[in-house]
Structure 1
Amino acid sequence: MLGLLLAGSLALTGCGQAMAAENHVRAPIAQTKAKESGLKTAIFAGGCFWGVEAVFSHVKGVKSAVAGYHGGTERQASYKLVSSGVTDHVEAVKITYDPSQIRYDQLLRIFFSVVADPTLRNQQGPDRGAQYNAELAPTSAEQLRVAKAYLAQMKRSGVWDKPIVTDIVRAQAFYPAEDYHQNFALKNPRHGYILRWDAPKVAALKEFYPAVYRASFLKD
């Protein structure tokens, strides 16, 4: 995320440089449904965590969404180091959700429809580097079962022209990012990166899945 202080600029803003807009697709309805009860947590890495957090903050049934760093070590879990690409972290968001309102398989569908391009490795949108890789980090055997089944279904679906390369990784330590990264889109709605990259993701969520769209931001 370069040029954090250049709010409003489309040259170097937020997580990277302004480029052509992303295409959003309607990912297929999951054939394998998650069977969970009680509040659950899930970890999604899909490029800059601002947009991942912004989208899930607008999903009904999501109770919290925390931007942070997945993997690596606690000592190196800082924006300065992670964004430089010298650590083993990826930018990620840890959410808590109520399966009676939104299932894990539905969260996967949302993620691949409007957040992450599953055909890209070590990049998303304008951002480049392993710290921006799209990854699923299941926190339970049930999430792992559903994630494997859904990625296999995506590969068969023909929705994407290129191979699906999103990784399923072992859930590791998650370190919350600095306070100024939390609820970033809510706090900085006119920031150039938010306008260019993340507001369209939230708009696509509203268009594709109005039944689960929550108009107001989730405030942790």
Structure 2
Amino acid sequence: MKFKKLFIACAIAAIAISLTGCFGSQKPMRYYTVVLPAGKAVADKPVPARILVKKASIDPAYRRNNIVYRESAYDFMFYNYSSWATRPEYLMEQAVSLRLEQSGLFQFVESVPTAKPDYELSMHVIAVEEIDGDNGREAHLAMNMSFKKTDSDGDLWSRRFDSKKSYDGDDMREFATAISKLLEQYTETALQEIQQALNSATESAQ
């Protein structure tokens, strides 16, 4: 009888532990975004023109909200509980559009056209990921940016960016911060070089 009671007690305890594992609190989902710091104006006087920041595109493998990570060149994984607030290319499009507006380079900056634009800025994200290697964690961001006149077939300016930035710890906020800093570098370079391209085009037209 004692053995029967002991068996029942053990069975109840096992079921309780099992139910705790099944219905216990899950790891909370965390969402991250891309933020560029408010920047200074790069031009004393804006170009009297309208520029459209076109809808950004991204390589199919990264067309997801979950943050991608890799441990080698041959694997491709993503976090279940760490996600972008929305698709990463949209976050970058919004951040670059806001910085372009702050730069004062153009009189009108739009993501949704209200009139025919004079210029277009395009972005394509090639890779946005965490790389876990022997030397720690790195944020990797590769993308193409191009700038053109709306009615022109050729680009006035284009560039491919591809860099990594290391960070400490396993807090995904550090990863999002590192990606934001990489995008900030790319955007500031783009603004400077687009301004130079505009100046060269103006001088050639004179």
TM-score, structure 1 normalization: 0.24
Rg comparison, structure with higher value = 2
Could you say which structure has the higher strand fraction?
2
Kindly indicate whether structure 1 or structure 2 has the higher relative contact order, using CA contacts under 8 Å at least 6 residues apart.
1
TM-score, structure 2 normalization: 0.25
